[in-house]
Amino acid sequence: MNKTWESQLLEPLAPFFVLLFVDSFLFTGGVSGSVIRLANAASGMAVHDDCKLKFLELKAKRTYRFIIFKIEEKSKQVVVEKLGEPTESYEDFTAGLPADECRYAVYDFDFMTAENCQKSRIFFIAWSPDTARVRSKMIYASSKDRFKRELDGFQVELQATDPTEMGLDVFRSRAGGIEC
């Protein structure tokens, strides 16, 4: 099958660009007046398989209290940085978040409802402290949606720039209960 010059031009760019709009002339052979808008689709680091596996273990088996993820810029992927054992506390979790670097985190929050039923909610936290580098903030922000899609199953999402934005009182109010 002979490829058109258009497909030969665009095919190598496919992993990095998404075709948003192509004037109809491009496909009919005429290119005068054609407008091509390309947007970077590489916004979103790959998610290492271990991230998915550990998250499934947290979700299904409650093997971990929390998971902290980081983006490795060299390998261009999100990886597991720290696993919190079920016995670890909220304080252990917050101590694992660096004061000047962005991270993604998942926290399994146990609480009691007003009806005295024990429940659990899985929180996704996008940790982006004010003191983090601007480049890091941009990379984490542009990769967040892909990360969330690949680790489907978060019940509550928080965006935090300082510890007060993800305190236990915030967790309680967002979960709708009282901490156990």
Contact 179, 110 (CB under 8 A): yes
pLDDT value, residue 115: 86
- Domains in the chain: boundaries: 5-40, 46-179
Q: Which residues contact 138 (CB under 8 A, 6 or more apart)?
A: none
pLDDT value, residue 32: 42
Q: What is the mean pLDDT of residues 30-45?
A: 44
Contact 67, 57 (CB under 8 A): no
| Burial (0-12, 13-18, 19+ Cβ within 10 Å), 103 | buried
Closest CA to 154 of 53, 84, 71, 55: 55
Residue 105 CA to residue 66 CA, distance in Å, equals: 7
| Beta-strand pair 156-160/118-127 | parallel
Q: Give the pLDDT band (50/70/90) at residue 131.
A: very high
The pLDDT tens digits of the residues spanning 68-119 come to: 999 999 999 999 999 999 999 999 999 999 999 999 999 999 988 888 889 9
The pLDDT tens digits of the residues spanning 39-51 come to: 334 457 899 999 9
Instruction: Assess if CATH 3.40.20.10 describes domain 46-179.
Output: yes
Q: Among 34-43, 92-101, 126-135, 148-157, which is the least confidently predicted range?
A: 34-43
Instruction: For the chain, give the percent of residues with pLDDT over 70.
Output: 74
Query: For the chain, what is the mean pLDDT?
Result: 82
